[in-house]
Structure 1
Amino acid sequence: MNKNEDVKNLAQSVLKEHQTKKQGRQFILWILALVVGAALGWLGIKPLNELFNFIATVFTRLFQFIAVPTIALAVITTLAALGGKKETGRIFAHAVVYTLLTTVFAAGIGLAMYLWVTPGNLPTDLASAGASSVPQKLGTVTYYDHILNVIPNNILQPFLSGNVLAVMLIAASFGLGLAFMPKTENREVLLKGILGFQELLFTLIKALLAILPVGILAFAGQLSAQIEAGVIVGALGKYTLVIMASNGIQFFLVLPLFLLARGLNPIDVFKKMSPAIAVALFTKSSAGTLPVTLASAEKNLKADPAVSRFVLPICTTINMNGCAAFILITSLFVMQNAGIELSMTTMLTWLIVAVLAAVGNAGVPMGCYFLTLSLMSGIGAPIGIMGLILPIYTIIDMIETAENVWSDSCVCAMTDHDLKGKLNHE
């Protein structure tokens, strides 16, 4: 008996070592694609840049194509399996606690950096000039409109428009409905069909991951070409510094400390989740990155699917560390330029507003920008400044999204670690 166990343990050890080496090679390949793509894009070869734009667009569409059904099916199948059990509450509680903690830390760091760097006011004529760049329609959208957009009046429209929060609401309703409906033959047939569809999607995701280095090469080339051509320019120096520094501290210090506090190796978790973080950096959509995040969590991190397929879709919509920092810093900057007195009470109030707004934001490109624009419009602040921020938001959005997905990965890893061996899969 012991001999058989020894053979089994040896086989598992060899398999684990092989998987570790494979993940290492994959990581190196991704970095290589990133560097080569950036170098080629910087050369400014027009036909090559056009090819990069085409490939990047193809990959972006593929991510969008597979993301929304992946979110819906992950939530439906997980809630259908766990909806009637106490495990659901435990997983959800861990995910929400870690999400709120990391988001509050992110906003708090943003406030501390703002007070330390203290960006000055912009010239009045410069702030007024930026008004022409603000999307006029979105300047009149209120926060109530964002909430109403989450409540669907059509089962297909949220899927067609990519409304992630509305899709989550529909999926949660269906999942809980399946969990509590009578255990009839029709229910089993329906559930098997949904699970089969989910397996098909994960097969497609694996195929997409296999060719992803080509996509990273194109994304890196596209971004490098834009920077070289001066499309993305740095303005509002101190404001930009506060945003970047806050995101950097959260990414490289705070989140790793959270992992260390739970007994996890941050470098190991980062390496295993690096495919998702890299895709988030270039797609600027945590929702669009979800298929890669799920695959990385289950294939590389070896997270329990019951945890990953429940935690990650939820985190994609509520765990917005980068967004919380952006909303707070940008709101303070705009209000300061409007002549509004920024007392400590006001700043702490807006810290809470930023956290709540970030939790309610959808993981789509420029979601934080439009949400901040709506908040500032709602209080009558000079939203022309948002027009000045718009040209540099491309870079900010990339870094924020990568941070959001890294935070999602950390929450998933910590929840999986806390509940290891405690979930009933019967």
Structure 2
Amino acid sequence: MQEENKDKTPTAGQGRPASLGRSQTRTIILWFAALIAGGFLGWLQIDWLNELFGFIATVFTRLFKFIAVPVIALAVITTLSQLGAKKETRTIFGHAVFYTLATTFAAAFVALGLYIAIAPGNIPVSIASAGASQVPQNLEKLSYYDHFLSVIPDNILHPFLAGNVLSVLFIAVAVGLALAFMPKTEPRAALLKVIFGLQELLFTLIRALLAVLPLGILAFAAQLSAQIEAGVIVGALGKYVAVVLGGNLLQYFVVLPVFLLLRGLSPVRIYRGMAPAMAVALFSKSSAGTLPVTLASAENNLHLDKRVTRFVLPICTTINMNGCAAFILVTSLFLMQNAGIPITGGTMLVWTVIAVIAAVGNAGVPMGCYFLTLSLMASLNVPIDLMGVILPIYAIIDMIETTVNVTSDSCVAAMTDHDLKGRLPAEGGAA
């Protein structure tokens, strides 16, 4: 009986809900140990070992993708089906959008400030021309409108098979609202039971995946270390990279903690609780792929209301892109500058807004910001040869960006939960 009470204490949020238990602390230590061990083993450049780690990393990446898409769909459907168009749904959504726009604009302005301060120069024409062959061939012909059209599905299965996160979200919102406004009949109740059952099944799979996550971290770290040691990832564009990474690091270490402090929340507690999600984001380079771990961390470690996490986090996965806004803004200005287009104060402000809007419309998938920026520049007839020069170093940029994005998602959920504490009706069936 004593053991049972001991197990229940942390999850009930009694006593010390802000602190991590011993088992969670041990888990974090294990992750860091795996990170260090993986980096060392990858640095050794042992072929058969690198091949093994590459295989393990691919397995974990596929498992996260396998779980992520249905988690997004079911989380949004179950939340909307219970809340529908009621006031609490609008309240949750309103807070999420407000904090998303606030943090994303902050990220863009921080990056803009660094761009002005560091003032990266133009790249020699010979280097820029050499990068032309690295640019993906068909993407430069896509217009920005094509990205929005790709969100509208023409059949229900394709978005799930293709992993089109925005289309999946579109379908989930439609189904969730339809269930909310359906007559309260037996078929509706039976359908909801199945949907909630599937959701709990997925969360059981997530817990199993988290149990073996150290092996995945070991493989991801080894893979990255091997790439760096082999010279695959190089920093040829010093000032440009300094602006992009510097903006993201300032957002992570300064801006987001300030947002949390202003809402009376502890950045240390939030960051410690969300450490598993940050670790997966760093190596997966996918906000959507990290979502299962983000949800589990927010609910199990921070004890946030499930009605908030399962509605806010899937939406933030696709609209809350702090790191992406910084990359789009800096890269667009950099490419226009190299193309000889005058960069005035007005141009910077206009592109700050465009970068935020573009980031909101971006999908949380690996290299999503890169492809979106490429298409956006191509649609304006700006030479995109430099995108090929940026490509070899984008792997590092994408890792940092995704970590910032997921951290910002977590902060938005935590602030929304804090603001609505005690204001939402008693939880009836949203779990």
Band of TM-score, shorter chain: over 0.9
Partner in structure 2 of residue 81 of structure 1: 82
Partner in structure 2 of residue 333 of structure 1: 334
Partner in structure 1 of residue 320 of structure 2: 319
1:294 matched to 2:287:
no
The 1-side partners of 2:347 and 2:16 are apart by: 56
In structure 2, what residue type is equivalent to 1:107? A
In structure 2, what residue type is equivalent to 1:106? A
SS of 1:396's equivalent? helix
What are the ranges of 5 or more consecutive residues in structure 1 without an aligned counterpart?
A: 1-7
Partner in structure 2 of residue 423 of structure 1: 424
SS of 1:150's equivalent? coil
In structure 2, what residue type is equivalent to 1:240? V
Partner in structure 1 of residue 307 of structure 2: 306
Provide closer, same or farther for how the CA distance between residues 79 and 238 of structure 1 changes in structure 2, counting only shifts above 3 A: same
Provide closer, same or farther for how the CA distance between residues 26 and 174 of structure 1 changes in structure 2, counting only shifts above 3 A: same
Partner in structure 2 of residue 151 of structure 1: 152
Deviation at 1:417, TM superposition (A): 0.8
Partner in structure 2 of residue 177 of structure 1: 178
Deviation at 1:13, TM superposition (A): 5.5
The 2-side partners of 1:275 and 1:298 are apart by: 12
The 2-side partners of 1:148 and 1:366 are apart by: 19
The 5 Å alignment of 1:18-29 reads: 20-29=21-30
The 2-side partners of 1:274 and 1:70 are apart by: 20
1:250 matched to 2:272:
no
Given that 2:93 and 2:312 are in contact with CA atoms closer than 8 Å, whether structure 1 keeps it comes out as yes
The 2-side partners of 1:227 and 1:126 are apart by: 21
The 2-side partners of 1:272 and 1:19 are apart by: 7
Deviation at 1:46, TM superposition (A): 1.1
With the length of structure 1 as denominator, give the TM-score of the two structures.
0.96
With the length of structure 2 as denominator, give the TM-score of the two structures.
0.95
The 5 Å alignment of 1:18-417 reads: 20-417=21-418
Deviation at 1:48, TM superposition (A): 1.1
Provide closer, same or farther for how the CA distance between residues 192 and 111 of structure 1 changes in structure 2, counting only shifts above 3 A: same
What are the ranges of 5 or more consecutive residues in structure 2 without an aligned counterpart?
A: 1-7
Sequence identity of aligned pairs in percent?
Answer: 68
Q: Which runs of 4+ in 1 moved over 6 A?
A: 8-12
In structure 1, what residue type is equivalent to 2:74? L
Deviation at 1:84, TM superposition (A): 3.4
Deviation at 1:20, TM superposition (A): 2.0
The 1-side partners of 2:117 and 2:21 are apart by: 42
The 2-side partners of 1:351 and 1:397 are apart by: 20
The 1-side partners of 2:13 and 2:280 are apart by: 30
Provide closer, same or farther for how the CA distance between residues 19 and 116 of structure 1 changes in structure 2, counting only shifts above 3 A: closer
In structure 2, what residue type is equivalent to 1:288? G
Given that 2:115 and 2:330 are in contact with CA atoms closer than 8 Å, whether structure 1 keeps it comes out as yes
CA RMSD of aligned residues (A): 1.6
Deviation at 1:112, TM superposition (A): 0.4
Provide closer, same or farther for how the CA distance between residues 79 and 13 of structure 1 changes in structure 2, counting only shifts above 3 A: closer
Per-residue CA distance 1:300-330 (angstroms, 9 max, x = gap): 1101100000000000000000000000000
Deviation at 1:60, TM superposition (A): 0.3
The 2-side partners of 1:221 and 1:406 are apart by: 23
Deviation at 1:394, TM superposition (A): 0.4
Provide closer, same or farther for how the CA distance between residues 141 and 296 of structure 1 changes in structure 2, counting only shifts above 3 A: same
